């Protein structure tokens, strides 16, 4: 069976524990992947030292040898230059599901996979979440202890409240460190102009910003036929609609919203990645990884 088949949301829903789900998705996404998705961990030249038997030959400086006829080795100091910031929209609308995983469940799997990847590369990770405002912020740290904290928090998240991405992003922005990779997980159910206002603040602080838009198949395609009573998960408002009468107008409104959002992201230099929560999770993770 192909990897992309077994890593469907239905398959992952039977795996107990977010860490195991995230590990499966990460291994699937990185299969055959050669470049490092993040450039956070690097080595900076520190000093020269005289060559001694056993030193790594690849660090010999042949230019110095040519000038001075003396073998020296370049020594390096390791340092972490970047952090991976994860921001999750936990408003009530993120709790909607049309399959085995809700939008928030799916976002948590992807965020957990990025956390494990950052730990492998010794990068720092931070986590922020909220709906109408930022509810909690874990500052960027690296190492297994931070990974455990982030995974534990992701497992405990529950959708609640209304959506206000402008406020959420504006409150997260001052906490973002320089040269960061920022991943924003949301269904984007808000006016594009308001979202762009918050996005602009985050973009100023980040090396790259990736906006991951999560939608279910129902939201993306609407219903083909029948009459439905729809309830707004955030306000509780209910509306009875006929699919035959409403589908055309709904899809047109979705297209307009998508075009406006794409335009705003293009102006800001933000990567907008639409994701469907019925897609194989490993393919979605690969889609959101930075292009390097």
pLDDT in tens, 180-223: 899 999 999 999 999 999 999 999 988 899 999 999 998 888 87
CATH number of the structural domain spanning residue 211:
3.40.50.410
- Cα angle 178, 184, 188; round to 5: 140
Is residue 53 one of the residues assigned to a domain? no
Residue 39 pLDDT more than 80? no
Return mean pLDDT, the chain.
Answer: 85
Residue 35 pLDDT more than 70? no
How many beta carbons lie within 10 A of that of residue 258, not counting itself? 16
**Contact of 86 with 114, CB cutoff 8 Å:** yes
Is residue 276 one of the residues assigned to a domain? yes
Number of domains present in the structure of the chain: 1
Is residue 46 one of the residues assigned to a domain? no
Is residue 50 one of the residues assigned to a domain? no
- Range ranked top by mean pLDDT from 1-15, 112-126, 219-233: 112-126
| pTM of the entire predicted model | 0.82
Question: Between 280 and 121, where is the model more confident?
Answer: 280
Is residue 61 one of the residues assigned to a domain? no
* Residue 3 pLDDT: 42
Q: How far apart are CA 43 and CA 45, in angstroms?
A: 7
Is residue 108 one of the residues assigned to a domain? yes
Is residue 62 one of the residues assigned to a domain? no
Q: Which helix (H) or strand (E) holds 163?
A: none
């Amino acid at each position: 069976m192909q990897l992309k088949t077994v890593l469907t949301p239905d398959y992952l829903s039977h795996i107990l524990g977010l860490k195991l789900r995230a590990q499966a998705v990460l291994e699937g996404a990185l299969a055959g992947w050669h470049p490092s998705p993040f450039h956070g961990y690097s080595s900076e030249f520190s000093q020269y030292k005289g060559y001694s038997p056993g030193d790594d030959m690849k660090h010999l400086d042949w230019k110095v040898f040519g000038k001075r006829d003396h073998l020296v080795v370049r020594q390096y100091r390791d340092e972490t230059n970047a952090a991976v910031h994860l921001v999750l929209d936990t408003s009530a609308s993120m709790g909607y599901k049309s399959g085995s995983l809700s939008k928030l469940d799916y976002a948590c799997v992807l965020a957990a996979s990025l956390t494990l990847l950052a730990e492998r590369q010794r990068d720092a990770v931070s986590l922020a979440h909220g709906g109408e405002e930022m509810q909690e912020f874990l500052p960027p740290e690296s190492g297994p202890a931070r990974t455990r904290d982030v995974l534990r928090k992701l497992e405990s998240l529950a959708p609640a409240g209304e959506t206000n991405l402008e406020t959420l992003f504006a409150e997260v922005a001052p906490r973002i460190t320089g040269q960061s990779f920022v991943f924003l997980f949301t269904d984007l159910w808000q006016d594009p102009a308001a979202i762009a206002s918050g996005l602009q603040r985050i973009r100023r602080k980040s090396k790259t910003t990736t906006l991951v838009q999560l939608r279910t198949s129902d939201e993306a395609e609407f219903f083909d036929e029948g009459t439905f009573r729809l309830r707004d998960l955030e306000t509780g408002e209910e509306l009875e609609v006929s699919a035959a009468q409403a589908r055309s107008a709904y899809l047109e409104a979705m297209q307009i919203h998508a075009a406006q959002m794409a335009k705003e992201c293009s102006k800001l230099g933000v990567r907008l990645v639409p994701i469907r929560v019925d897609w194989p999770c490993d393919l979605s993770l690969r889609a959101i990884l930075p292009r390097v």
